[in-house]
Amino acid sequence: MTNHSSVFTGQARAHTNIALIKYWGKKDPDLFLPMVSSLSLTLSAFYTDTRVSFSESYTENRLLVNGLEQTGKAKESLDRFMSVIGSKMEHPLPIHIESFNHVPTAAGLASSASAYAAMTGAIAQALNWDLDLQSLSRIARRGSGSATRSLFGGFVEWEKGTDDLSSKAIPIDDGLWDVGMLALVLNDKEKTISSRDGMAKTVATSPFYPAFVSSQDSDLELMKKAIKERDIVSMGEIAEHNAMKMHATTLSAKPPMTYLSPDSLRAIKAVQDLRNSGFTCYYTMDAGPNVKILSPASQQDDLIKALRQIFKDVTLVKSQAGPAMRYLSDEEWQELY
């Protein structure tokens, strides 16, 4: 923490994550309690650096992302998050935030997960909160559900819990072995239906949603066993099944919707064909058209070569397991930005 005439500042870095067992749907939208537990891999290639400052001289909350002032939904989401933070401060103050997304060129994978995880870390540093990563994961959850998992590195479970205290992240495995995730970036345009709206509509209208929920615990247990055994084949089979169950709930919502594009389906077919030709590779997808491919890290370069034959112009970014949120010092920040 730095205190220059009542300005409190903090900085932190957090990496984004991709779920192998999906979070989709809220039981309590106010507390961000999810309907299901989920499990993800934190990624090495994508992260957000955030600096925050609190001051009595500020008149409102402000958020700059890559130098651009945020308004609209992003600002509303921040104001809502800051009312949660304010409730934990003796004298709530407005915040100014500067955030930089490190996403390889045009990857289009900037995510609220790394954003709120980094913001939570930076706030904790600014306010001198002596909290462990699990406690911080509960706070990040109030900004965005998937941010809960981005406090830890490697494979991370978000235990759904039953209340504010019990809904938190748990590290499962550091992921520092021969496993990785390739992002196939098909479209970096802003998506039409936000995850937040998409999941709410799904919960409210899809007759398939209860089936997704009821098979989640067994998918999660099987995934944890497969990770423990470093069995990428089983991990991949469970991840594909789980992701497509989630996407089936949006297709069966009223009115129906989907995040899959024609190119997403081509990519899924390509992954299946590559698997039939000997690669160990499995797909997953989130609330957008991009396809992420789980494989041994040692196969990623050959996979990129093979995928290049089919997708000439797409961006392919390889990741391995990324680290936990970490605080950045004033000096590091000055050097970086």
Residues of the shown chain interacting with ligand 2P0 in the complex, contacts defined by CB under 6 A: 19, 22-24, 32, 38, 112, 144-146, 195-196, 286-287
Closer of 17 and 53 to ligand 2P0 (Cβ) = 17
Q: Whose structure tokens read 């991990």?
A: 235
Alpha-carbon distance of 109 to 95, in angstroms, equals: 26
In DSSP notation, 96-112 reads: EEEEEEE--TT-----H
- The closest residue (CB) to ligand 2P0 is 145
Pairing outcome for strands 68-69 and 62-65? antiparallel
Taking the complex as a whole, how short is the minimal distance between the CB of residue 144 and ligand 2P0, in angstroms? Answer: 3
Q: How far apart are the first and last CA of the chain?
A: 18
Taking the complex as a whole, how short is the minimal distance between the CB of residue 10 and ligand 2P0, in angstroms? Answer: 22
Per DSSP, 89 falls in state S
Taking the complex as a whole, how short is the minimal distance between the CB of residue 176 and ligand 2P0, in angstroms? Answer: 22
Taking the complex as a whole, how short is the minimal distance between the CB of residue 128 and ligand 2P0, in angstroms? Answer: 27
Alpha-carbon distance of 282 to 36, in angstroms, equals: 22
Burial, 298: exposed, middle or buried (Cβ in 10 Å; 0-12, 13-18, 19+)?
A: exposed
Taking the complex as a whole, how short is the minimal distance between the CB of residue 19 and ligand 2P0, in angstroms? Answer: 3
Q: Whose structure tokens read 């402000």?
A: 62
Cβ contact 217:210 at 8 Å: no
Taking the complex as a whole, how short is the minimal distance between the CB of residue 286 and ligand 2P0, in angstroms? Answer: 4
Closer of 24 and 212 to ligand 2P0 (Cβ) = 24
69: alpha, beta or left? (left if phi > 0; alpha if psi -120 to 50): beta
Closer of 32 and 282 to ligand 2P0 (Cβ) = 32
Closer of 8 and 116 to ligand 2P0 (Cβ) = 116
Could you tell me where the DSSP H helices lie in 62-104? Answer: 72-86
Taking the complex as a whole, how short is the minimal distance between the CB of residue 62 and ligand 2P0, in angstroms? Answer: 20
Cβ contact 290:16 at 8 Å: no
Closer of 58 and 196 to ligand 2P0 (Cβ) = 196
Cβ contact 269:311 at 8 Å: no
Closer of 93 and 223 to ligand 2P0 (Cβ) = 223
Closer of 10 and 288 to ligand 2P0 (Cβ) = 288
Neighbour tally for 309: CB within 10 Å: 8
Cβ contact 179:239 at 8 Å: no
